[in-house]
Amino acid sequence: MSTSPSLAFFSQTHLYHYFSFYYGPSLKEEESMVCAIEIFEKPKLHNPVLIEGLPGIGFVANIAALHLIRELKAKRFGEVHSSAFQDLAVTTQNGGAQCPMNELYYYKGQNGGRDLIIWYGNTQALTTSGQYELCGRILDVVQELDCHYVVTLGGFRQEEMKGPPQIYCAASDHETLNDALSLGTKIMVGQIFGIAGLMVGLAKLRGFKSFSLLVDTLGMYPDANATRFALTALNKFLNMNVDLSKLDVAEEETKKILQSFGLIRTVGTEKKKEEQQFRWFI
């Protein structure tokens, strides 16, 4: 797992003021603002699980989150902006512009299933401090919604694939590790870059239980097959039966979104060294 120069901000009081439930910097912090979250609705949830779904290796988490949002008809309740996101906007056919952002969705469980908070977006932060602040702000929000459990998803890059993908895990504590291992995973040994690893460590410091599921993938393009293995394990953990037949649709939509922001390239123009400018994409 990657490290940070300091974890001191966890001992500080997170300051925020409201703009329809607005989580962001105080007036004194505005000049160095990194991350701000606007909450449109404050849902009443019972012990929800946070599912992380940001771009990373194989875009496994990204496809999974988009698929869950569509299949569960999850409701959008928050929007995240950060000065550590890419400094660009993508124009639309009708003359509009879309900036890199993250979004928060919720789903109220049915028939014994868990309530969910789904963290979806088209980018991670591009700096170490931005990543730590982004995780901290998200944990602030979900903690107020009675969330105490975090699951992150991702890919585990392989040079070649032989047989079905394997699923690996890392967790905040032994009890939670056993929960993850019961899903048919193996213990991950090594480093987990980006949000998928960082969130597990930071969530533990805040008293959350958390684990990460990482699936074998070649890693260069959105991988619906690896995502299918991740969601199969997640279905089992959440006691749900989310239909996975339309994963290819989520894969294609993810590919188009990420190409527009330069996170992946077409086969003819792809340059591996350029894709690896983002540490969480290694």
Q: Is 17 inside any structural domain?
A: no
pLDDT on residue 4: 32
Residue 13 domain-assigned (yes or no): no
Q: Report helix, strand and coil shares of the chain as percent, to nearest 5.
A: 35, 20, 45
Q: pLDDT at position 281, please?
A: 54
Q: How many domains does the chain have?
A: 1
The boundaries of the domain holding residue 257 are 45-281
Residue 40 lies in a domain: no
Average pLDDT of adjacent 10-residue blocks, the chain of 282 residues: 30 30 49 80 96 95 96 97 89 82 95 92 93 96 97 94 92 97 96 95 97 93 93 96 90 79 53 52 50
* CATH, residue 179: 3.40.50.10900
Residue 114: inside a domain: yes
Cα 66 from Cα 53, distance rounded (Å):
8
| Whole-number pLDDT of residue 2 | 36
Answering whether pTM is above 0.85, one says no
> How confident is the model at residue 264, as a pLDDT?
60
The single residue listed with the structure tokens 């591996």 is 272
Please give the pLDDT value at position 1: 38
Query: Helices (H) and strands (E) in the chain — how many of each?
Result: 7, 12
pLDDT at residue 24, rounded to an integer: 55
